[in-house]
Each structure stands twice: as C-alpha cells, then as structure tokens.
C-alpha cells in the first residue's frame, strides 16, 4: 500500500447525511454527500428510522458518484475508513455494514473511526496536512456539542466539555418549532434573530452557576459542560405567556434572546476551556459552526485571549465522508493497524477512541 | 450458477450455492448481531470454498419482511457486494425461504394452502400465504402479498415458521411440524433455484419489505400549558 499518500475512502452515516469522501494523502478528491434532511423537515427534527432508510437507499449511488467525481476506481483505493460512532445506532449500522462489505469484497483494510475526531480531521486537508500545535475543537451540530483538546489527532484527544442534555442544534430545532420557524432551526433562528433584540428576554445560561463551574484550581462538576434543555423550557414558557394573553409572539426578539443565551454559554465555556488548557488554535466544526452569531462571538472572545479560530468551509463542517477519509489517511500514514471487519458500531464511542482497535 | 445468498430478516445467515445446492452456510443463533456477523461470514465462506467474487454469478438477498435494522444490514451488505464485485443482486421475500423448506411438510400433511409466519416484534407477526402442489417436484407459490398483523389475524390455514411457535395459542391453526423454521440464506438460495430452474426470473428489486411506516409522527402545534 502507498502509505505516504494513501488513497482513502471515508464513509459517514452517523446522522442524516450519507457521506462518501475520497482523499489522496491530504488532498481532497471528492466530498460527496446525500442528505435526507428534506425528509425530516415536516417532523422538525431528524427521525432516526427515516435517516436509516435513506442511508440504505443512498449508499451505493453515493459511492458510485464519489468514485466518478474523484476519477478513481474502487480497486485503486488503499484503505477504507468508516464512522463507527458516536451517532444514531440504526444510522451508523448501515454505513458500518456497507463499509465492511466493501472491505470484504475488495480486500482493503478498514478503519472504524470516531465521528467527533473526524470533524477535527478536516483540518488535515490541504496545506501540507499539519494541524497547528495546542489545538482545540468546538463541535456544534444537531447531534452533538463538544469542546475537545487535540494533543495528537491519532492518539491523544480528550473531551473537555459537552452538553449534558440536548445538542445545541437540537435546541435550535425545538425552539424554531415553538416559534413557527422552519427546519433546520439553526439558519431560521439566525435569520430571525438578526432583526431582534438579544436582550429583550433574559433566558437562563445553563450550568454557569458557581456550583457547576468551581474554579480553575478546583473545577466544579460541569465547568466546561453545557445544558440547553432548561433554556428550551424557558422559551416555551415565554411563548405560552404570549399565547395566553392572545398577543403576537415577538419572534425576532425571542429568537435573538435565545440565540444570545446559546452563543454566550458556548463561547464563554469554550474560551475558558481553551485558556485553562493552553489551547491557542480553535477549530470549529459541525453544522452550527455556520451560525453567524456563534462564529462572531466565539471569534471575538477567542481573539481577546490570543486564540486563533479556524472555521472550515461549511461543506466540511457538516457531517461528511471527506473528514472520515482525512482522518483515515492520517492513520494509514502513521502506520496505525486497521480495525478489521469484526467490530461493532458504538453509538456512544468516547473521543479517546480515535480509531477502534482490531478485535482480538 | 454460483450464488452468494444473504438473509437478515430474522437470524443473520449467509450461504454459497451452486445450482440450488448449498456448498457452505453460516447462521447466527441470535437475531441481533447482523451488522457484526454478516461481512466476516461472507469472508469466511468464500475462503472456505476457495472462491473470489469473480467466481460468483449473482448475489441473492432476502428482502424481508423483518425487523428494520437487521434487515437493512443484509440489504446494504448484499447491494454493496454486488456493486464491488459487479454482480447482479436479486431480491426474494424472506418468507419464501421458509415456505420452500416447509412445502413438502404441508403437502405430506394434505394442506394445499398454508401460511408462513415470523416474529415482527411488538406482539405481531410477518406472514404470507402460499399454495403448494406436486408437479414433478414440490412447487410452492406465494398466494398473496406479505403482511404484518396480530397472530389472531392470520388466515385459517396451517401456519408454519418460527413466528408460529411464538404464539401457538393465538395463531388460528398452528401446523404440527415446522413451526420453528426461520428464514435462512440456504433456504432462500434453494427457493430461488426452484424459481429459476423452472424458467422463472428473479427480481432485481431489493427494496426492503418494511410493511410498517417509520413510526415518525409529525409534531402537532406546540403544547399549550394547562395551568
Ligand atoms: Zn457531526
């Protein structure tokens, strides 16, 4: 196998995107994505069974398109990488079963890869493929909300903080529904908020009380963790108050105030985690990284502490196969042993497992 | 005609067959490890038979009905193998595998019509009606589309298949034997051969027979607090 610039196919199916990416070394050849997002619109959120059904139908066509787009044949691929968690169990299973079949049919080595670490793997693409030192990552999407410290992307990734209930994107979706806005909630609320007053309502900032935060020397139980379910409930209460009084809901003001709470908590906790862990570059990932207010506030607050913020193009922020391929390529280059085909997808895979070890 | 068959509608199973004769087979004992078991089983069977994908003529897959997650594992595995090996992929209702297996029992017991049922979870069964006749061999033909219902709703004909043993007191007419037979890739291969060897054609439609909606509900208007 060519281990200097391996040709790697990455497969992603942990949520509602069926992604197949192909990289050669650190060069991106294709990032082909088939999304079932439109099928979830009428439900106002991702329905796991619908996503799983869509993955089954999309898989082979997406692989075909990706190969054609990259101009390579399956036989030329050096290794296959697949997201094996975290994510929706039924959705992960489709990509994992398919990747195993590809590995068996072609005899290629298979790497079972962590979805969250793969989001950081986007940073490996292009420009010599080196990640900056003292790297951290802020991942915000409909499925997850995490702050990571990335010492070494193939061997030392730690979870500093995460949501303890809803993902931030999920909170956006639910609040969008309360406000009668469209799905996905992120862009809809971002748009509505642009016209609103972020201080019109004072919504709670989850897990920011002293008992959760503690101090740098003596951290509380949730110093870098986030919670958005109380916020969602608070918004529901405000909406209900307006309904009860038969007054129109001030959608823009509620959206802006809600978004301000989310953005305030995420950015404050992120900056705190970065400064206390010597992180000097922060990579943003996940679909909500596209949120204009979040980018603005995170960038501002990070700048004040000398932290550089990197936001990849949106197509590489949302779930995709290219990031899986990029991380897979690095694992191959570093001589990490492949996982093989005997593993089980793990919906709760911890970030400390960058790639699943081969079963013994 | 060398065929690799997979079924994941109940247990997970793989078989290699030549002209309907099973050369190698693999069957799990449980019904919850499809995504783990299928690919390694394919690899092992091919190695044991000393075959590569280039030796095969087709892939055959049971299209269900069956519990969704497991069913998809078999379907995506079969479709992907077909793609990578550039082979046609044929789909056959998984209940036909059981029907083919129990057909001779039904005929011997004097039952020209029977049903096959397997577990659909949620206290229901997936089932299908069949007709069986002796025409220079036992011929089993579907007599209706696959269904899902409560055990009591099955037709009043002898009922075979592993779903029968689950609800012996609720299925209208449980058969005496063959009430523990689950779909398997080996029986699926034989059922397919009984079709093609008589000049019939297999479908290239590998759409899953879900028979149930995805359970997703469109959320109603935001709930009003009642306090
Ligand atoms: Zn993601």
**Cα B178 from Cα A14, distance rounded (Å):** 40
Residue ranges of A 116-175 with Cβ closer than 8 A to chain B? none
Alpha helices in chain B (DSSP H): 34-49, 68-85, 94-108, 162-166, 185-196
> Is residue B38 one of the residues assigned to a domain?
yes
The helix, strand and coil proportions of chain A, stated in percent and rounded to the nearest 5, come to: 45, 20, 35
> Is residue B106 one of the residues assigned to a domain?
yes
Domain that holds residue B106: 95-166
> Is residue B177 one of the residues assigned to a domain?
no
Which residues of chain A lie closer than 8 angstroms to B73, CB-CB? 93-94, 97
Q: Does A105 touch chain B if contact means CB atoms closer than 8 Å?
A: yes
Pick the CATH number of A7-130+319-333 from 3.90.1150.220, 3.30.70.260, 3.50.50.60, 3.30.420.40: 3.30.420.40
Same domain for B49 and B117: no
> Is residue B203 one of the residues assigned to a domain?
no
> Is residue B70 one of the residues assigned to a domain?
yes
**Cα A110 from Cα A137, distance rounded (Å):** 26
pLDDT digits (tens, 9 = 90+) for A102-111: 999 999 999 9
Same domain for B189 and B89: yes
Using DSSP, state whether A111 is helix, strand or coil.
strand
pLDDT band at B216 (very low <50, low <70, confident <90, very high): low
A91 min Cα distance to partner chain B (Å): 9
- pTM (predicted TM-score): 0.94
Using DSSP, state whether A124 is helix, strand or coil.
helix
Query: What local confidence, expressed as pLDDT, does residue B137 receive?
Result: 87
A209 min Cα distance to partner chain B (Å): 28
Q: Does B120 touch chain A if contact means CB atoms closer than 8 Å?
A: no
**Cα A6 from Cα B117, distance rounded (Å):** 49
Q: Looking at the DSSP assignment, which residues form a beta bridge with residue A17?
A: A35
Which residues of chain B lie closer than 8 angstroms to A342, CB-CB? 36, 40
A347 min Cα distance to partner chain B (Å): 14
Which among B36, B81, B219 is the nearest to A43, CB-wise?
B219
Same domain for B58 and B15: yes
Same domain for B128 and B70: no
Same domain for B35 and B8: yes
Percent of chain B clearing pLDDT 70 (strictly above): 94
Query: What local confidence, expressed as pLDDT, does residue A142 receive?
Result: 87
Query: What local confidence, expressed as pLDDT, does residue B226 receive?
Result: 38
Q: Are A138 and A298 in contact (CB under 8 A)?
A: yes
Q: What is the CATH number of the domain that holds B47?
A: 3.30.420.40
Same domain for B74 and B122: no
> Is residue B220 one of the residues assigned to a domain?
no
Q: What mean pLDDT is reported for chain A?
A: 95
Which residues of chain B lie closer than 8 angstroms to A243, CB-CB? 224
> Is residue B173 one of the residues assigned to a domain?
no
Q: How many CB atoms lie within 10 A of CB B127?
A: 27
Same domain for B10 and B66: yes
Same domain for B105 and B88: no
pLDDT band at B35 (very low <50, low <70, confident <90, very high): confident
Q: Does A65 touch chain B if contact means CB atoms closer than 8 Å?
A: no
Q: What mean pLDDT is reported for chain B?
A: 93
Q: Looking at the DSSP assignment, which residues form a beta bridge with residue B58?
A: B3
**Contacts of A129 by beta carbon, 8 Å cutoff, 6+ apart:** A25, A26, A330
Q: Rounded to 5 degrees, what are φ and ψ at B70?
A: -65, -40
Query: What DSSP letter does each residue of B89-129 carry, written as one string?
Result: EEEE-HHHHHHHHHHHHHHHTT-SEEEEEEE-STT-EEEEE
Strand blocks (E) in chain A = 7-12, 17-24, 27-35, 79-85, 110-114, 135-140, 145-152, 156-162, 281-285, 308-310
Query: What local confidence, expressed as pLDDT, does residue A360 receive?
Result: 62
For residues A259 and A2, the model is more confident at: A259
Length of chain A: 360
What residues does each domain of chain A span? 7-130+319-333, 142-316
3-state SS record for A125-165: CCHHHCCCCCEEEEEECCCCEEEEEEEECCCEEEEEEEECC
pLDDT digits (tens, 9 = 90+) for B181-214: 999 999 999 999 999 999 999 999 999 999 998 7
Q: Does B40 touch chain A if contact means CB atoms closer than 8 Å?
A: yes
Percent of chain A clearing pLDDT 70 (strictly above): 99
pLDDT digits (tens, 9 = 90+) for A281-311: 999 999 898 888 999 999 999 999 999 999 9
Structural domains in chain B (count)? 2
B132-142 burial, b for 16+ CB within 10 Å, e for fewer? Answer: beeeeebbbee
Look at strands B58-62 and B2-7 and give their pairing.
parallel
CA angle A239–A240–A244, rounded 5-degree value:
125
Q: Are B87 and B53 in contact (CB under 8 A)?
A: yes
Q: What is the CATH number of the domain that holds B162?
A: 3.30.420
**Cα B125 from Cα B147, distance rounded (Å):** 8
pLDDT band at B219 (very low <50, low <70, confident <90, very high): low
pLDDT, average across residues A271-284: 97
A11 min Cα distance to partner chain B (Å): 13
Percent of chain B clearing pLDDT 90 (strictly above): 88
Q: Looking at the DSSP assignment, which residues form a beta bridge with residue B183?
A: none
Which residues of chain B lie closer than 8 angstroms to A55, CB-CB? 72, 76
Query: What local confidence, expressed as pLDDT, does residue B227 receive?
Result: 34
Residue ranges of A 224-283 with Cβ closer than 8 A to chain B? 236-237, 239-240, 243-244
pLDDT digits (tens, 9 = 90+) for A157-179: 999 999 999 999 999 999 999 99
pLDDT digits (tens, 9 = 90+) for A332-345: 999 999 999 999 99
pLDDT digits (tens, 9 = 90+) for B144-168: 999 999 999 999 999 999 999 999 9
**A31-45, A85-99, A138-152, A272-286: lowest mean pLDDT where?**
A31-45
pLDDT band at B222 (very low <50, low <70, confident <90, very high): very low
Q: Are B93 and B63 in contact (CB under 8 A)?
A: yes
Q: Give, in order, the Cα–Cα distances in Å from A243 to each of A259, A349, B221.
A: 21, 42, 12
**Cα B39 from Cα B47, distance rounded (Å):** 12
Q: Give, in order, the Cα–Cα distances in Å from B68 to each of A55, A226, B34, B115, B167.
A: 13, 34, 11, 22, 21
Query: What local confidence, expressed as pLDDT, does residue A54 receive?
Result: 96
> Is residue B12 one of the residues assigned to a domain?
yes
Which among B43, B83, B214 is the nearest to A104, CB-wise?
B43
Q: Give, in order, the Cα–Cα distances in Å from B26 to each of B37, B38, B92.
A: 9, 9, 19
pLDDT at A61 over 90: yes
Task: List, edge to edge, every strand of the sheet that includes A27-35.
Answer: A27-35, A17-24, A7-12, A79-85, A110-114
pLDDT, average across residues A219-230: 94
Helices (H) and strands (E) in chain A, counts: 12, 10
Same domain for B110 and B61: no
Strand blocks (E) in A268-312 = 281-285, 308-310
pLDDT at B17 over 50: yes
Same domain for B142 and B87: no
Q: Which residues of A carry a binding-site annotation?
A: 115, 119, 139-143, 173, 186, 190, 291, 319
pLDDT at A276 over 60: yes
pLDDT digits (tens, 9 = 90+) for B101-160: 999 999 999 999 999 999 999 999 999 999 999 988 899 999 999 999 999 999 999 999
Look at strands A17-24 and A27-35 and give their pairing.
antiparallel
pLDDT digits (tens, 9 = 90+) for A36-57: 888 888 888 889 999 999 999 9
Check CB contact under 8 Å for B73 and A42.
no
Check CB contact under 8 Å for B214 and A239.
no
Same domain for B120 and B21: no
Same domain for B106 and B72: no
Indicate left, alpha or beta for A180 from its phi (over 0: left) and psi (-120 to 50: alpha). left
Maximum distance among all alpha carbons in chain A?
69
> Of A171, A185, A196, A293, nearest to A250 (Cα)?
A196
CA angle A145–A230–A185, rounded 5-degree value:
55
The yes/no answer on whether domain A142-316 falls in CATH 3.30.420.40 is yes
pLDDT at B223 over 60: no
pLDDT at B224 over 50: no
Q: Are B164 and B179 in contact (CB under 8 A)?
A: yes
Which among B36, B39, B208 is the nearest to A101, CB-wise?
B39
């Amino acid at each position: 196998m060519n281990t200097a610039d391996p040709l790697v196919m990455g497969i992603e199916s942990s949520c509602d995107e069926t992604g197949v990416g192909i990289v050669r070394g650190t060069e991106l050849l294709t990032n082909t994505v088939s999304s079932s997002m439109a099928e979830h619109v009428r439900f106002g959120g991702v329905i796991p069974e619908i996503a799983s059904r869509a993955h089954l139908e999309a898989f082979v066509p997406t692989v075909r398109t990706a190969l054609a787009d990259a101009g390579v044949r399956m036989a030329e691929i050096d290794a296959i990488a697949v997201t094996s968690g975290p994510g929706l169990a039924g959705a992960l299973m489709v990509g994992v079963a398919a990747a195993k079949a590809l590995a068996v049919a072609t005899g290629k080595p298979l790497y079972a890869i962590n979805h969250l670490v793969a989001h950081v793997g986007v940073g490996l693409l292009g420009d010599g493929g080196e990640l900056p030192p003292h790297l951290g990552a802020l991942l915000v999407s409909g499925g997850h909300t995490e702050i990571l410290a990335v010492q070494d992307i193939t061997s030392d990734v730690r979870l500093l903080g995460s949501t303890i209930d809803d993902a931030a994107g999920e909170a956006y979706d639910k609040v969008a529904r309360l406000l009668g806005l469209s799905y996905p909630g992120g862009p809809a609320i971002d748009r509505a908020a642009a016209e609103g007053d972020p201080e019109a309502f004072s919504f709670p900032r989850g897990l920011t009380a002293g008992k959760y935060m503690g101090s740098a020397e003596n951290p509380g139980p949730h110093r870098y963790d986030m919670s958005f379910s109380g916020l969602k409930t608070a918004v529901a209460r405000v909406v209900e108050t307006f309904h009860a009084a038969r007054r129109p809901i001030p959608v823009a003001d509620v959206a802006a105030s809600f978004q301000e709470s989310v953005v305030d908590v995420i950015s404050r906790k992120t900056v705190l985690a970065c400064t206390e862990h010597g992180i000097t570059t922060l990579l943003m990932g996940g679909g909500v990284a596209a949120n204009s207010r979040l980018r603005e506030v995170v960038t501002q607050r990070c700048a004040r502490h000398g932290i550089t913020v990197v936001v990849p193009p949106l197509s590489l922020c949302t779930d995709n196969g290219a990031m899986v391929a990029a991380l897979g390529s690095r694992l191959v280059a570093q001589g990490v042993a492949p996982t093989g085909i005997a593993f089980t997808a793990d919906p709760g895979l911890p970030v400390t497992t960058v790639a699943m070890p081969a079963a013994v | 005609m060398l065929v690799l068959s997979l079924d994941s509608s109940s247990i997970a199973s793989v078989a290699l067959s030549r002209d309907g004769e099973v050369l190698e087979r693999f069957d799990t004992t449980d019904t919850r490890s499809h995504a783990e078991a299928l690919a390694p089983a394919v690899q092992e069977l091919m190695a044991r038979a000393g075959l590569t994908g280039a030796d095969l003529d087709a892939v055959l897959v049971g299209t269900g009905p069956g519990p969704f997650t497991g069913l998809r594992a078999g379907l995506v595995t079969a479709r992907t193998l077909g793609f990578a090996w550039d082979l046609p992929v044929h789909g056959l209702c998984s209940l036909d595998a059981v029907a083919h297996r129990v057909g001779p029992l039904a005929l011997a017991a004097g039952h020209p019509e029977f049903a096959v049922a397997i577990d659909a979870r949620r206290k229901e069964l997936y089932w299908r009606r069949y007709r069986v006749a002796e025409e220079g061999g036992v011929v089993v033909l579907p007599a209706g589309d696959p269904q899902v219902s409560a055990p009591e709703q099955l037709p009043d004909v002898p009922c075979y298949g592993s779903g029968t043993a689950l609800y012996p007191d609720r299925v209208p007419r449980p058969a005496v034997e063959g009430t523990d037979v689950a779909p398997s890739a080996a029986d699926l291969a034989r059922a397919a051969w009984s079709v093609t060897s008589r000049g019939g054609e297999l479908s290239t439609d590998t759409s899953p027979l879900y028979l149930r909606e995805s359970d997703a509900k469109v959320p109603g208007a935001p709930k009003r607090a009642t306090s």
